[in-house]
Structure 1
């Protein structure tokens, strides 16, 4: 099969793909959710068992590709006789009409796995695309975009992977791999100093301690208590700049609070190390990717 994608428009990433053993339970559960108790009634009744199909995954709008391995697994788990031939890699900058992969094999099985494959591919490419848009805007200032724990239930691992594919960084994966002291923790503990000191006493030396602050007084108190990362919440660019000057390299700085593509550059110009954006995982639009009959080929 010969397919001519314009490789000059493709940028690939060196992000390490997730192992199949990590992805299979998620893909299998999603297929089972779709197949229900009786399987794909439409395909099984309409498509003869011996029919084969030759189809292409095709980008219908610009964006960044992510989730190719989940799409591959969706077809393989449905029928290991399906041949999935990727023509691009996760991280490719897509343009409309780019052929992402060729899918050949038993027609029934391909059509039964289609929606699961496209759901993963479209959603994760949407995450990567939203991340890349912000990463591209703030890159000149040496600032990086990072995700949050505002992820869709059950999809955190793959959403965070898509953030990396889009050029972003990952924040903590869960409550157990770093300490983030927020306003409610401070309120219950009684003060910033008390909260940070208790965290330092109990945490191992490998565990980062991040403190969320919304005033410069809290910032100074947290630095004095030994916080290693400072989350500057809902601060205007001028205040962020002052906060960065106060930190003066003694801690990693991270800005957050309803960050948009339009506001990201001004925040980055203030000199923060990271910008946390929940919307790149919890509110992204799906990237439009379709499964089409291969032009000039036989199929269903």
Structure 2
């Protein structure tokens, strides 16, 4: 595998290795380890794969050779081989836990995204699932990669790329100036869609009249979303509706059926990790 096939950068992967062994592997460096070894990653249960190429690259960065058996985004069943690596024992032991934990965590996120999308498709709802930027700080690149592998999209990757006006922004604008400020913001950033988070139907209608192209509905119930959709249609307003806050696997279909244009969720980031079995083997000395 070449680095170009690995979506996460070598710098990021080296940082993960450095975090785990900032001054080397004290145990492995001290023991008189000899010979050559092999490592096999195997799925313990059904999973949506993510981070397998990155895991292989981690072994390579430590001096071993490695190959992802199945690509990220693929489905694996219990017992399926995921990754093979070969090399000196110190190299294999240095990469082992970081690589295993990365695949387990990323595959957990990807699996949660895939399950939500599968439930939506089975219900006949062709609605995108967009994950927020509320991944654990420092893990956004990893989380975004896992979301993609699960079939989802990113709601926004950060503050620099999109317009999202929160009520907290409006708090610092004079009430009489708010609607004009939204309209001016839309004119000032013509290439960006204006997204406004609202917490009530009245606020949603006001934002739509000010030119909001997407309404992020904070803690709306599916019933409230359906009622808002009807009110907007009656007013001949057509912003996209994106429920957020509390959207999860248990209510995704209800929101989509109520008329959501996309679902915004952070729930996949907190999914249980997948379970990967790791087996070491000693090979005959060269």
- TM-score scaled to structure 2, two decimals? 0.89
Q: Please state if 1:97 is matched with 2:79.
A: yes
Given that 1:143 and 1:274 are in contact with CA atoms closer than 8 Å, whether structure 2 keeps it comes out as yes
Given that 2:130 and 2:265 are in contact with CA atoms closer than 8 Å, whether structure 1 keeps it comes out as yes
Matched pairs, number? 276
Q: Please state if 1:146 is matched with 2:134.
A: no
Cα distance in 2 for partners of 1:269, 1:93 equals 27
2:280 equivalent among 293, 296, 300:
293
Cα distance in 2 for partners of 1:266, 1:153 equals 30
Corresponding residue SS for 2:9: helix
Cα distance in 2 for partners of 1:28, 1:225 equals 47
Return 237-246 or 119-128, whichever deviates more.
237-246
CA distance 1:280–1:121, shift in 2 (3 Å)? same
Q: Trace 1:84-163 onto structure 2 (pairs within 5 A).
A: 84-139=66-121, 140-163=124-147
CA distance 1:18–1:186, shift in 2 (3 Å)? farther
Corresponding residue SS for 1:189: coil
Cα distance in 2 for partners of 1:175, 1:193 equals 21
Unaligned runs of 5+ in 2: none
TM-superposition CA deviations, 1:59-79 (whole Å, max 9, x none): 112221001122122111111
Cα distance in 2 for partners of 1:224, 1:299 equals 74
By how many angstroms is 1:18 displaced? 7.9
Find the counterpart in structure 2 of residue 193 from structure 1.
179
Find the counterpart in structure 2 of residue 209 from structure 1.
194
Corresponding residue SS for 1:110: helix
CA distance 1:221–1:299, shift in 2 (3 Å)? farther
Cα distance in 2 for partners of 1:123, 1:195 equals 42
1:177 equivalent among 143, 161, 175:
161
Corresponding residue SS for 1:141: coil
Find the counterpart in structure 2 of residue 238 from structure 1.
223
2:11 equivalent among 17, 25, 34:
25
Find the counterpart in structure 2 of residue 77 from structure 1.
61
Cα distance in 2 for partners of 1:88, 1:44 equals 32
TM-superposition CA deviations, 1:27-72 (whole Å, max 9, x none): 10111111122x11222333524x1112211111222100112212
Cα distance in 1 for partners of 2:262, 2:66 equals 38
Cα distance in 2 for partners of 1:18, 1:173 equals 22
Q: Please state if 1:35 is matched with 2:17.
A: no
Given that 2:186 and 2:193 are in contact with CA atoms closer than 8 Å, whether structure 1 keeps it comes out as no
Instruction: Indicate the RMSD between aligned Cα atoms, in angstroms.
Output: 2.2
Given that 2:8 and 2:142 are in contact with CA atoms closer than 8 Å, whether structure 1 keeps it comes out as no
Cα distance in 2 for partners of 1:161, 1:213 equals 29
Q: Please state if 1:260 is matched with 2:242.
A: no
Corresponding residue SS for 1:287: coil
